[in-house]
Structure 1
């Protein structure tokens, strides 16, 4: 991936000259041409600044021409363990001033900046103004003379190019792993920024690190084990810094992806995984029916045409042909690559279409398909369910740290999901079905997003084992799996009791769902006897429920399963959910028909 990152940086023009990095200069100390202090000019934008790399973390060196406020205008600080913080800051301040004095030989205007730093009265005035603008000690500041930043002075840049040669690596040359050209490899590489929110260090994390003997080989020292040139790695770092800035967080990892050709953000097919609209169940129930081919993204329309072109031969719009994906986090100052993948764009589109098809499921009211949801929201339905959880995304990162990369790999490659996905979705459904929430106690419908996980897992299992799919968006009375119809039959029994005895304290779902989903042969007989009693209490809907019950019971077949393994329990839950949706759809249809008939009678009477 190093070469792909380097090519991305070159294509996007992210690379800077060697010895420079983009820094957020928060403010400039503005001076006149004769050295008078004018005030503090706000910054806030990233600009190319000279950088000495990891040596800036030493006790006596710092970066030049732009640095932390506490170094340019230091204050007394409390002593720390070992060498005092005051001594370290004083050493860095002295190093900065010495470099400014040396550079002033080619750019005299730097002497004006140096005098401001050294003159107590002027330095106090600057400090007061910095305090007034609430600039912290760690904020990077610089100088400006006659409205021009010293970072833009041509003489300063020329001096820095010569001065930085003392920091360039010296030694034997080796082929660069990124470009293949002979180079003197960097001993240590600059840190990558952007991983602090996923376990990384605030100063950045090392992508290539050989600080232990166990990591070294053939007697090589440090990064010579993976030789890279300064210029090439600067491109890799620039690419990662750029990609990580806007990368979504997924289960404690940054999802970084890019293509080998330019692609607009709204045309990015991978973005749909993270940009689905997060909805609650009430919103979902009132959703309009989405047609199977509904596609809000123009890029997806082009991709569909691309896939069809294999068979039809029609002309298509040119699309990127390679994608790259990295799942990254930070661990103890190092970049941890959790997963990496590179693949063909056509295969990616086909896999994402399959993912969308596998997820297709009716909403709980049976009025249409469920709307798209963010992948992070889907993953929440694979962790232990809690009624009140303010740190749910922290739990997501901990509980699914090892599972999320495998899930993403399955989505991108169209392969089976890991086995824990089914067990976790079932656990979530069980905890939700027996929740003390008043709404969930009334409805008794399994969680729709958890059921989508089950459907996706089972669809891929069916394709792999039987080379066909039997699951559909709605209840399929011809599905060959008995466990699927066992779940549907329990849903019918539960609805019959709810209509016959609406005020019952503990429903048969409360009492028997868990046992029926694991050992249906031991439970369904007893539920059938109870159902006969409940049906006798029905009046208007007796025929509807009797026919539906008999129809589903016949679909089970001659033998009721004794014990259900996890995949069969998934079928059971999905059959239960889809039958609940089917009965709710029928109820709404009856209500609509009754309303229409009533309106027609009223019009006839007029």
Structure 2
């Protein structure tokens, strides 16, 4: 299903000229060798964009590459890296370029064979170049030396002096590419993708661009050991995919995985490179659907108006309404395909695969934001998945995000299923470890509990509230509120402390309240007496005493010895609600409520 969908998408893009035709591929090219008609090097041109400091290459469509291995890897046709084209390479463990006569010899032999009868001026010039070039004399070529050692790690193409097109783009070269892309030597078999009898690919082209995978590329379909063979079939014959289908799905994956600011079909979430594409009635609806989906997965814009526009778009699609502000009546039935790929040595693991109508996806994304909603809002713009994951990672760094957790979270968001239980435990553990009861972490706790409650008909617990609810009698929520009040009483009495009760007791109070709260209550009595004697804090102390009394009345006479994981999540929510309530003005509360109403009105 995955490969078939990718192959179909390739055919649509190929018809639009967005991906290379069969036998071609897009590669990162660093330099072009300018030849005269006698095959002499006139100049070597750096193809990188001078305005892009980080870019050292240009994406060009060239004859298709393939996987290379062993001590004598074969060369590519009409282009290659410097080790093959020039016979010189820069090894990682050496500061001095070294000659690679074997690789250049293979490049020379291939081109002398294929260009033996060529009459095209460009191909003749290339044939003369490989005939006369001597790798050991590379230092005598001024056009090469001027670029320094950086050229010896780059891919190189050729161009004839006085012409704009590269030699591999010439009509005669294209005919040769088609001829040598033929698959007469491939065994025939039934292709699992097309269902037709076609030449079967023994090895599939490499997939490049997956974060963390080998730079030379990795594979989804791969058999490289005898233990993987069965019934006398080896390599690609174990999972027969035609040469054309293998080229199609790998080519379109490489296109989707391009890391380009102008390319909006790939996002990185944890260790998964997530690609997606749309199938719509027309190109305009397809582009709008892909842009909308990208905006929902990527960090939203800093402009709050743009973020609000994104949520309105999700709500509109989920409800089947037209999005007039996007100037398009987007069909909720537009199909979205989502594929998450993670590195696994020389292979790729499929983290998740979803395909469904845009309306259903938009509804699930909107529901995700609804499950996260909490007052006061801890964000100005809706948090993307990477931001949520970073909030519960060590040192809040994205590189410390657990790969499995990232994949599970995205699977829950896109499928509408329960959030992973590890999401709740990770948020609670981080709060206990660093005593930072941040809004993002509490929102994650609230989201997990809210979704569990909605999906579990047997769960009769009280609803997890968005804002402070003084009618909730759940012990975990009440104890969290009480802990926040006791902390406020301490602050009212002492004004400034090096380590508050949150810093010293939050972890134990949220897990084993019976052993901690009696101690905290005795301390609060002393703090309250001191605060009541201070004219500046007396009014606040009276208010806090009433709040504490109201909460204690809702608790049973015997405090629970331990709290389950879910109740520890409610403890954090209660603490967050109570702690932030007294710092919010009435206007702030009304504004937050209006924002939540706008977000949730269609969910």
Does 2:447 align with 1:456?
A: yes
Corresponding residue number in structure 2 for 1:530:
523
Corresponding residue number in structure 2 for 1:24:
28
State the alpha-carbon separation in 2 of the partners of residues 151 and 460 from structure 1.
57
Q: Deviations for 1:280-313, whole angstroms, at most 9, x for unmatched residues?
A: xxxxxxx99x99x94436642531431799xxxx
Q: Deviations for 1:146-197, whole angstroms, at most 9, x for unmatched residues?
A: 31321122122223323444x64433x32212222211211111111112x3
Match for residue 380 of structure 1 among 390, 411, 429: 390
Any conservation in 2 of the 1:410–1:416 contact (CA below 8 Å)? yes
**Deviation for aligned residue 1:423:** 1.5
State the alpha-carbon separation in 1 of the partners of residues 407 and 178 from structure 2.
43
- Go from structure 1 to structure 2 and tell me whether the alpha carbon gap of 1:120 and 1:5 turns closer, same or farther (over 3 Å shift): closer
- Go from structure 1 to structure 2 and tell me whether the alpha carbon gap of 1:10 and 1:562 turns closer, same or farther (over 3 Å shift): same
- 1:347 match: secondary structure: helix
- Go from structure 1 to structure 2 and tell me whether the alpha carbon gap of 1:91 and 1:40 turns closer, same or farther (over 3 Å shift): closer
Corresponding residue number in structure 2 for 1:62:
75
Match for residue 201 of structure 2 among 163, 178, 186: 186
State the alpha-carbon separation in 1 of the partners of residues 570 and 67 from structure 2.
56
Corresponding residue number in structure 2 for 1:250:
269
Any conservation in 1 of the 2:335–2:356 contact (CA below 8 Å)? yes
- Which moved further from structure 2: 254-263 or 484-493? 254-263
- 1:179 match: secondary structure: coil
Corresponding residue number in structure 1 for 2:506:
513
**Deviation for aligned residue 1:482:** 1.5
**Deviation for aligned residue 1:320:** 4.6
State the alpha-carbon separation in 2 of the partners of residues 177 and 225 from structure 1.
11
State the alpha-carbon separation in 1 of the partners of residues 192 and 43 from structure 2.
48
- Go from structure 1 to structure 2 and tell me whether the alpha carbon gap of 1:535 and 1:515 turns closer, same or farther (over 3 Å shift): same
Does 2:287 align with 1:273?
A: no
Match for residue 419 of structure 2 among 410, 417, 420: 417
Aligned length: 545
- Which moved further from structure 2: 108-117 or 342-351? 108-117
Query: Which runs of 5 or more residues in structure 2 are unaligned?
Result: 48-56, 260-265, 281-285, 533-537, 590-603
1:108-123 matched pairs, under 5 angstroms = 108-119=121-132
- Go from structure 1 to structure 2 and tell me whether the alpha carbon gap of 1:126 and 1:462 turns closer, same or farther (over 3 Å shift): farther
Corresponding residue number in structure 1 for 2:142:
128
**Deviation for aligned residue 1:9:** 1.5
Corresponding residue number in structure 2 for 1:596:
none
**Deviation for aligned residue 1:216:** 2.9
Corresponding residue number in structure 2 for 1:546:
545
Does 2:58 align with 1:45?
A: yes
Any conservation in 2 of the 1:103–1:159 contact (CA below 8 Å)? no
**Deviation for aligned residue 1:495:** 0.2
Any conservation in 1 of the 2:75–2:103 contact (CA below 8 Å)? no
Any conservation in 1 of the 2:63–2:78 contact (CA below 8 Å)? yes
Corresponding residue number in structure 2 for 1:336:
349
Corresponding residue number in structure 2 for 1:138:
153
Q: Deviations for 1:509-546, whole angstroms, at most 9, x for unmatched residues?
A: 34433332122233333433333332233323233212
Any conservation in 1 of the 2:115–2:127 contact (CA below 8 Å)? yes
Match for residue 336 of structure 2 among 312, 323, 341: 323
**Deviation for aligned residue 1:430:** 1.3
Q: Deviations for 1:105-149, whole angstroms, at most 9, x for unmatched residues?
A: x42442323334444699858843133234522322222123132
State the alpha-carbon separation in 2 of the partners of residues 416 and 350 from structure 1.
15
State the alpha-carbon separation in 1 of the partners of residues 257 and 440 from structure 2.
29
- Go from structure 1 to structure 2 and tell me whether the alpha carbon gap of 1:182 and 1:523 turns closer, same or farther (over 3 Å shift): same
State the alpha-carbon separation in 1 of the partners of residues 411 and 360 from structure 2.
13
Any conservation in 2 of the 1:68–1:138 contact (CA below 8 Å)? yes
State the alpha-carbon separation in 2 of the partners of residues 248 and 354 from structure 1.
21
Any conservation in 2 of the 1:185–1:228 contact (CA below 8 Å)? yes
- Go from structure 1 to structure 2 and tell me whether the alpha carbon gap of 1:425 and 1:560 turns closer, same or farther (over 3 Å shift): same
Any conservation in 2 of the 1:30–1:38 contact (CA below 8 Å)? yes
1:211-226 matched pairs, under 5 angstroms = 211-226=224-239
Does 2:184 align with 1:153?
A: no
**Deviation for aligned residue 1:566:** 1.1
Any conservation in 2 of the 1:188–1:222 contact (CA below 8 Å)? yes
State the alpha-carbon separation in 1 of the partners of residues 322 and 527 from structure 2.
53
- Go from structure 1 to structure 2 and tell me whether the alpha carbon gap of 1:549 and 1:307 turns closer, same or farther (over 3 Å shift): farther
**Deviation for aligned residue 1:58:** 6.5
State the alpha-carbon separation in 1 of the partners of residues 588 and 218 from structure 2.
59
Corresponding residue number in structure 1 for 2:400:
395
Match for residue 487 of structure 2 among 470, 489, 494: 494
Any conservation in 1 of the 2:267–2:297 contact (CA below 8 Å)? no
Does 2:7 align with 1:6?
A: yes
- Go from structure 1 to structure 2 and tell me whether the alpha carbon gap of 1:547 and 1:324 turns closer, same or farther (over 3 Å shift): same
Query: Which runs of 5 or more residues in structure 1 are unaligned?
Result: 279-286, 310-314, 387-391, 434-444, 591-606
Does 2:179 align with 1:162?
A: yes
State the alpha-carbon separation in 2 of the partners of residues 507 and 425 from structure 1.
21
**Deviation for aligned residue 1:479:** 2.0
- Go from structure 1 to structure 2 and tell me whether the alpha carbon gap of 1:514 and 1:22 turns closer, same or farther (over 3 Å shift): closer
Any conservation in 2 of the 1:360–1:369 contact (CA below 8 Å)? no
Q: Deviations for 1:245-264, whole angstroms, at most 9, x for unmatched residues?
A: 24222222211222223233
- 2:394 match: secondary structure: coil
**Deviation for aligned residue 1:448:** 1.6
Alignment RMSD = 3.5
Any conservation in 1 of the 2:276–2:290 contact (CA below 8 Å)? no
- 2:87 match: secondary structure: coil
